């Protein structure tokens, strides 16, 4: 049958099972929005306040559900406003399809109104991108984009569609989504045998679980491996929830703001097994002194990651879930070892701690958040001190429960992601842990949350400064607080109420539970809780720049 390009796009989205799109209209996508209006009973469009909010919402939707997130923007500034969200998704391997409008094919390359080379701009931050100049190719491009976004190591794909293509007609034939191929194990049986033998003979092994474990759905296989061989497990920031934070073998996060137990265990280990992690600088710090006594085994679906940042003695590149299943058939069952007991001693000696005085401490707020939600909320974060407190003091027990910008470190990410996660998981309570600096970057999305009656909670840890930057200035720049003080007099409670949300101020420890319970009881309105905390609160432990991870500052 003959359809316009816009109709073909919508039909292809329906083929792919898309039920939600986050976006903002404009001239180059008017034809598409006209068809979205007609398809409004099948595809829900969420109108965000800013295109960057749409990209982050699509990202949060994808992370929370495991589906492909979809966002749309017009040409020029609309498209460029998606760039930070696309880069955020790329760094954290999030499956997303970004659709942008483009000027008509006859106007390309002429500096036309709202023309920008968005495929050129996004080439380094997408798995692939397309510009569609021929309506006959549109359907195939859309189908390829969704396949590429999901296949192998997931990531964002951009489709740039010229406006005349959305109006032109072509033959359309429905097709079911292309099934993802069975991911190859990627390694020989002898490689698995050797890896199992190495694990069985290790005296002081440690497992690092990264975000790839959750993406692969391999958390059960990881749990079996760790409990069978009694191997302590740490996680990266992106790996939160891949291994239960309440488990006796869990040692806490690794790296710059990791626990002393974890960083000591890694530094004393004789076998370091990294699974679905990319050895970022925040994990390894001084590469020459990382895990100095250990052989390193790296299991990852992306062969480009193996050996990229650190030398690896044992490489297993392929499907993580399948590799772990094969390892579990070969790994010997062990009782608690001296090594596991030593780790438990360190956990007793070096717990995460903070002052127990009567002040309102952010760590206490996170602990109460955990208790009152019974550890079942989806937590999104902005970027900064609050992000680390949320990682350290909330115990994540399942994948897709902690959504945070790990690779790019995007301030302003969390609220959009919170909106996307709430829409993707309407039965869950979703809380965005924010700093006042980050919230200033995305508070406009309160209009979105109010319009769609989303019962999200925004917990602002308001210290009136850019907390993490100020902490570095205090520790490493002799207290020269250059441009990090935010005493701007903004009344966040009044701001929330102006948008139609519920606003709450909390200044004392005694008021924390009442505020959180009130917020958790909301069923059809967002709640902003402004927690007034001290500007000199710091995230500890911290590894100074250039130091090995075993050399932590703890207070």
> In 3D, which of 472, 371, 359, 486 has the Cα closest to residue 434?
486
| Beta-sheet pairing, 2-4 with 169-171 | antiparallel
pLDDT digits (tens, 9 = 90+) for 274-293: 999 999 999 999 999 999 99
Q: Write the CB contacts of 504 (distance below 8 Å, at least 6 apart in sequence).
A: 493, 515, 518, 519, 527, 528, 529, 530
What is the CATH superfamily name and number for domain 2-171?
A: Thiamin diphosphate (ThDP)-binding fold, Pyr/PP domains (3.40.50.970)
Q: Which of 114, 194, 248, 425 is catalytic?
A: 114
What's the 3-state SS for 94-140?
CCEEEEEEECCHHHCCCCCCCCCCHHHHHHHHCCEEEEECCHHHHHH
468 is catalytic: yes
Q: Which of 11, 51, 115, 305 is catalytic?
A: 51
- The ranges of the chain annotated as CATH 3.40.50.970 are 2-171, 362-532
User: What's 362-532's CATH class?
Assistant: alpha beta
Half-sphere exposure of 324 (CA within 13 A, CB side): 29
113 is catalytic: yes
114 is catalytic: yes
- The ranges of the chain annotated as CATH 3.40.50.1220 are 189-349
Longest dimension (CA), the chain: 72
The whole-angstrom separation of Cα 172 and Cα 370 is: 51
Topology given in CATH for the domain delimited by 189-349: Rossmann fold (3.40.50)
- Burial (CB count within 10 angstroms: exposed 0-12, middle 13-18, buried 19+), residue 482: exposed
Q: Are 378 and 524 in contact (CB under 8 A)?
A: no
Q: Which of 113, 203, 220, 497 is catalytic?
A: 113
pLDDT digits (tens, 9 = 90+) for 294-329: 999 999 999 999 999 999 999 999 999 999 999 999
pLDDT digits (tens, 9 = 90+) for 147-170: 999 999 999 999 999 999 999 999
Q: Which of 146, 429, 468, 493 is catalytic?
A: 468
Which segment of 174-183, 315-324, 496-505 scores lowest on mean pLDDT? 174-183
pLDDT digits (tens, 9 = 90+) for 539-548: 999 999 999 9
305 is catalytic: no
* Residue 334: Cβ within 10 Å count: 14
Q: Which of 22, 130, 163, 243 is catalytic?
A: 163
Q: Are 124 and 97 in contact (CB under 8 A)?
A: no
R_g (Cα) of the chain, nearest Å: 24
322 is catalytic: no
The whole-angstrom separation of Cα 261 and Cα 253 is: 9
């Amino acid at each position: 049958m003959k359809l316009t390009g816009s109709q073909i796009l919508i039909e292809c989205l329906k083929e792919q099972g898309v039920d939600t799109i986050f976006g903002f209209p404009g001239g180059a996508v008017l034809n598409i929005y006209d068809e979205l209006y007609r398809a409004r009973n099948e595809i829900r469009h969420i109108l965000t306040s800013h295109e960057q909010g749409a990209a982050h919402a699509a990202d949060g939707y994808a992370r929370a559900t495991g589906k492909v997130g979809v966002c749309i923007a017009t040409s020029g500034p609309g498209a460029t406003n998606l760039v930070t969200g696309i880069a955020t998704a790329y760094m954290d391997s999030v499956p997303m399809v970004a659709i942008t409008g483009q000027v008509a094919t006859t106007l390309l390359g002429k500096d036309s109104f709202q023309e920008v080379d968005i495929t050129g701009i996004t080439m380094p931050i997408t798995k692939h991108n397309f510009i569609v100049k021929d309506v006959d190719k549109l359907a195939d491009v859309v189908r390829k984009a969704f396949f590429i976004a999901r296949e192998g190591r997931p990531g964002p794909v951009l489709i740039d569609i010229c406006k005349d293509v959305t109006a032109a007609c072509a033959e359309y034939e429905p097709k079911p989504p292309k099934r993802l191929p069975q991911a190859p194990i990627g390694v020989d049986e002898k490689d698995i045998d050797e890896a199992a033998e190495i694990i069985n003979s290790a005296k002081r092994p440690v497992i690092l679980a990264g975000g790839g474990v959750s993406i692969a759905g391999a958390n059960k296989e990881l749990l079996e491996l760790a409990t069978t061989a009694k191997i302590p497990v740490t996680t990266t920031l992106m790996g939160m929830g891949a291994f239960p934070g309440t488990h006796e073998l869990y040692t806490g996060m690794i790296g710059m703001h990791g626990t002393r137990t974890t960083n000591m265990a890694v530094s004393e280990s004789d076998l370091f097994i990294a699974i679905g992690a990319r050895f970022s600088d925040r994990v390894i710090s001084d590469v020459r002194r990382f895990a100095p006594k250990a052989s390193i085994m790296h299991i990852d679906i992306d062969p480009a990651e193996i050996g990229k940042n650190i030398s690896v003695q044992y490489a297993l590149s392929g499907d993580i879930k399948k590799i772990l299943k094969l390892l579990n058939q070969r790994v010997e069952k062990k009782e608690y070892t001296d090594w596991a007991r030593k780790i438990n001693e360190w956990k007793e000696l070096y717990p995460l701690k903070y002052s127990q005085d009567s002040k309102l401490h952010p760590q206490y707020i996170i602990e109460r958040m955990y208790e009152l939600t019974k550890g079942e909320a989806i937590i999104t974060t902005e970027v900064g001190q609050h992000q680390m407190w949320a990682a350290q003091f909330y115990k994540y027990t399942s994948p897709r429960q902690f959504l945070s910008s790990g690779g790019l470190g995007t301030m302003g990410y969390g609220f959009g992601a919170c909106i996307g996660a709430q829409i993707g998981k309407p039965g869950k309570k979703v809380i965005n842990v924010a700093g006042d600096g980050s919230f200033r970057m995305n508070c406009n999305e309160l209009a979105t949350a109010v319009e769609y009656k989303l019962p999200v909670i925004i917990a602002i840890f308001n210290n009136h400064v850019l907390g993490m930057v100020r902490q570095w200035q205090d520790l490493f720049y002799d207290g020269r607080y250059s441009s990090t003080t935010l005493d701007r007099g903004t009344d966040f409670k009044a701001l929330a109420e102006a948008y139609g949300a519920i606003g709450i101020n909390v200044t004392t420890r005694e008021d924390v539970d009442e505020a959180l319970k009130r917020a958790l009881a909301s069923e059809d309105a967002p709640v902003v809780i402004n927690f007034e905390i001290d500007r000199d609160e710091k995230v500890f432990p911290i590894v100074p720049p250039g130091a090995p991870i075993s050399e932590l500052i703890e207070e």
